[in-house]
Amino acid sequence: MRRGDSRCAILGQRVDFADFFTRSARETVRLAWERGLLMLFDCRGPPIDVDADEQALRRSLSRLSHAAVAMVDEGSLFMTAHAGWNDAGLADVSISIAGAGGCITAGALSSALQQLELAERSTAPDAPAGSRVAHGVCPITGAPISFGAEGDQGILFALDLVMPARLQPAAPMPSAGGASAWLLSSAPQASWSLMRRLQRLGWRTTHFESAQHALQQLRAGGPAAAPALVVGIASNDLQAEDLQPMRPRLAADVPLILGTLEPAAQAGAVDCRPWPFSPADLIELTQRVSQRERSADDTQPAALISSGWIGRPRAVVVDDNEVNLLVASGLLQLAGFDVQTARSGEEGIERCRTHLPQWVLMDVHMPGMDGLQTTRRLRRMQHEGTLAHFPIVAATADTTAVIGPACREAGMDGTLSKPLSLRAIEREIDRLLPGLRSVAMTR
């Protein structure tokens, strides 16, 4: 599926876009969690204020997010926004709501698209079986909407907007400089999005499955090993009172925070904040540590911000389907990689030349140069010495007996079945690049 070329401007009051999008996502998080879905959230782009009808835009997003949650029976939901700004004073905003995992029946999907007033179009002749494509206009905002689905592998809604905007007053983006952030959640998946967002701001992250485990680490490690930030994600197994015993063992200026779907409040020594956190929340927390004076007994030793700081490994995802690109790149980011995407074999080769990866995830069936041909080309370049070696793993929904041998003959190192899962990806990374993921997940 490709996004439509048309755009829509929605005029109204001035709105901090990142804050608006975060508040809108909180409703979707609640819906997803009630259905047992893993919810991943991200908002990227420069800090901007947009001129928009906030109520209309919120209703438009709510309409799509409710539909997306209802279309996914199990698995993951990704809600992301990318905002760009140009010198003409316009923001180009792309919002994606994607689901990966078991999807509703074809008949129910047709009914849902009809309710959303989206008209189905013919798919490409070489599209996988079960693919669906639809387009339409939001009746609330007039914004163009695109939809794509590929069998039971996933669905994707795309909403594109152009709005008058202005950049917020410029300020240097803070960096935690390698300071330690501890994330506490009974379900590790709940903290994955936050982990990646913190790492982009220079934090080293460590996950604990309970407050008790984190407290044991504090007792064993002493003040020098203590974190500069502790964040818990509320659940039936983790509440504010579970975090309280950590407070006496943390420096007084170390934030102790609980992300919660309930209204924010102060619970003793624990700062309760609405979940997910906005970009402004994370910037504010990072500014605290970046402005803190280092001292001999500070909780952040200088070694964490030394010149030996190592960046995250890079991955390239090659796939002609936008749903698969979004899901695969999101899962690889959660596994510890910075990700580049390519929509064709030719583009994949160029990505590998200009952004040498440590890992490539390759779709097998693509129009033009398919994944097998692309892999052979990359291996030939490596044999000739014009490209360094890296693992190439196939991603395919093909279940025929010949696909595995064909991938191995082309030079691929492994095969992953669609729909992709984080656990399967992590197993392949650990098999082919042992030790890399444990380092990457702290960067």
Give the pLDDT confidence of 232-244 residue by residue, as tens digits.
999 889 999 999 9
Whether 13-166 and 314-440 share one fold: the answer is no
Position 182 scores a pLDDT of 95
Give the pLDDT confidence of 315-367 residue by residue, as tens digits.
999 998 877 787 788 778 777 788 899 999 999 999 999 989 999 999 998 88
Specify the pairing of strand 204-208 against strand 229-233: unpaired
Give the pLDDT confidence of 142-184 residue by residue, as tens digits.
999 999 887 666 788 989 888 899 998 877 788 998 899 999 9
CATH class of the 13-166 domain in this structure: alpha beta
- Domain spans of the chain, in order of start: 13-166, 180-292, 314-440
Position 151 scores a pLDDT of 63
Give, for 353, the enclosing helix (H) or strand (E). helix 345-354
CATH number for the segment(s) 314-440 = 3.40.50.2300
Using alpha carbons, select from 44, 278, 1 the residue that is nearest to residue 158.
Answer: 1
Position 88 scores a pLDDT of 87
What DSSP string describes 72-124?
BSSSEEEEEEEEEE-TTSEEEEEEEEEEES-B--HHHHHHHHHHTT-EEEPPP
Q: How far is CA 286 from CA 75, 96, 107, 217, 383, in A?
A: 31, 27, 48, 23, 45
Q: Is the pLDDT of residue 295 over 60?
A: no
Position 3 scores a pLDDT of 45
Give the pLDDT confidence of 59-85 residue by residue, as tens digits.
999 999 999 998 887 777 888 898 888
| CA dist., res. 363 & res. 417, Å (int) | 10
More confident residue, 303 or 210: 210
Q: What angle do CA 151, 154, 156 make, to 5 degrees?
A: 115
Q: How far is CA 64 from CA 70, 97, 113, 178, 225, in A?
A: 10, 8, 10, 38, 45
Half-sphere CA count of 31, side-chain side, radius 13 A: 20
Position 1 scores a pLDDT of 44
Give the pLDDT confidence of 2-49 residue by residue, as tens digits.
444 444 545 567 899 999 999 999 989 888 888 888 888 888 888 999
Q: What's the token pair of residue 116? A: 């959303």
List of residues 6+ apart from 283 with CB closer than 8 A: 173, 174, 201
Position 439 scores a pLDDT of 55
CATH of 180-292, one of 1.10.10.10, 3.40.50.2300, 3.30.70.1230, 3.40.50.2000: 3.40.50.2300
Q: Is the pLDDT of residue 443 over 70?
A: no
Query: In whole angstroms, how large is the CA radius of gyration of the chain?
Result: 23
Give the pLDDT confidence of 80-129 residue by residue, as tens digits.
898 888 888 899 898 988 887 767 778 888 888 999 999 998 876 656 66
| CA dist., res. 13 & res. 57, Å (int) | 12
| CA dist., res. 207 & res. 186, Å (int) | 10
